[in-house]
Amino acid sequence: MSDHDRVVFDLKGYLVKPAVLSQNEIEVIREFTLRQKNNPQSLSPHERYLPGGPFAQLIDHREVMNVLLNVIDPDPEKIRLENVFLSYRQQGEGEWRPHAGGRTTNPNYAYNFHDGRIYAGMVRVVWELNEVLENKGGTCFIPGSHKANYNIRTNPVKSIDARNSGLWESYGCPAGSLIIFSEAVRHSADFWQNSQSPRVAIFCAYNHINVRHHKPDFKPEVIEQLAPKHQRFFREVYHPQFD
């Protein structure tokens, strides 16, 4: 993780890494993921659900790990992947539902900086498999809100949460780009406004090995067929002091 990216992530709460994947990688993963969505019965049982299929190669993608090792834990054995889902939206589809933001003692969402290092709770990794036009449906953020002192989670000021408040920002990026953000930053989905192509994005939730947010719902047959280096991301939660 470069010093620039480290400062931006700490300042804003999110990063945009454009054009991380090659055109061939994009096409293979997008086609297979849409097949999982539209015709899963055409696939083997262990490929019908994420993270099965070619997407598995992105679990420990170098650009992802470069960030997670700097903001979750420097030991890759202590990083978990606890949720993966496809976000698919046609023109006009979506919602506006701001959530998270501000300081918290909940270890799943807490964001801290201590002794020269970031300590983030859950970190979302988003793979955008189609082009995203700026302010036309990508995930939106209130930059810096992961360190806000006022409680904007349970008592948000309505004028702040309004899409046109002037506080929200989003991004534009080519297909194959990577968005990484702290779950602690206030963020929201938006309405997709690209008539040329749908939004096809894969959302991943990474966390530390000693905490869990989502209920386990991965299909055992999917995890069992992953390469050992990827299976380790789905281990049970425990405290590393017992290693």
pLDDT, mean over the chain: 94
Phi first, then psi: give them for residue 57, nearest 5 degrees: -65, -15
* Residue 70 · residue 119 · CB < 8 Å: no
pLDDT at 161 over 80: yes
Task: Report the percentage of the chain scoring pLDDT > 70.
Answer: 100
Out of 95-99, 153-157, 189-193, least confident range: 153-157
- How far apart are alpha carbons 128 and 176 in whole angstroms? 6
pLDDT at 126 over 90: yes
> Cis peptide leading into 220, omega within 30 of 0?
no
**pLDDT at res. 29:** 97
- Cα→Cα distances 89→72, 96, 125, 238, Å: 30, 13, 18, 36
pLDDT at 39 over 80: yes
3-state secondary structure of 45: helix
**pLDDT at res. 198:** 97
Global pTM?
Answer: 0.95
- In 3D, which of 127, 112, 9, 12 has the Cα closest to residue 64? 127
Helix, strand, coil content of the chain in percent (nearest 5): 30, 20, 50
* Residue 168 · residue 141 · CB < 8 Å: yes
pLDDT at 56 over 80: yes
Close Cβ partners of 168 (under 8 Å, ≥ 6 residues apart) = 140, 141, 142, 188
pLDDT at 158 over 80: no
**pLDDT at res. 129:** 98
Q: What token pair was written down for 94?
A: 């979506």
What's the mean pLDDT in 32-55?
A: 96
* Residue 84 · residue 70 · CB < 8 Å: no
Out of 67-71, 147-151, 166-170, 203-207, least confident range: 147-151
Instruction: Supply angle C-alpha 65, 78, 81, rounded to 5.
Output: 65
Burial grade of 166 (CB within 10 A; 0-12, 13-18, 19 or more): exposed
pLDDT in tens, 216-233: 889 999 999 999 999 999
* Residue 56 · residue 50 · CB < 8 Å: no
pLDDT in tens, 171-217: 999 999 999 999 999 999 999 999 999 999 999 999 999 999 998 88
pLDDT in tens, 232-241: 999 999 887 7
Which pLDDT band holds residue 154 (cuts at 50, 70, 90)? confident
**pLDDT at res. 155:** 72
* Residue 213 · residue 205 · CB < 8 Å: yes
* Residue 143 · residue 12 · CB < 8 Å: yes
- How far apart are alpha carbons 42 and 153 in whole angstroms? 43
Which pLDDT band holds residue 147 (cuts at 50, 70, 90)? very high
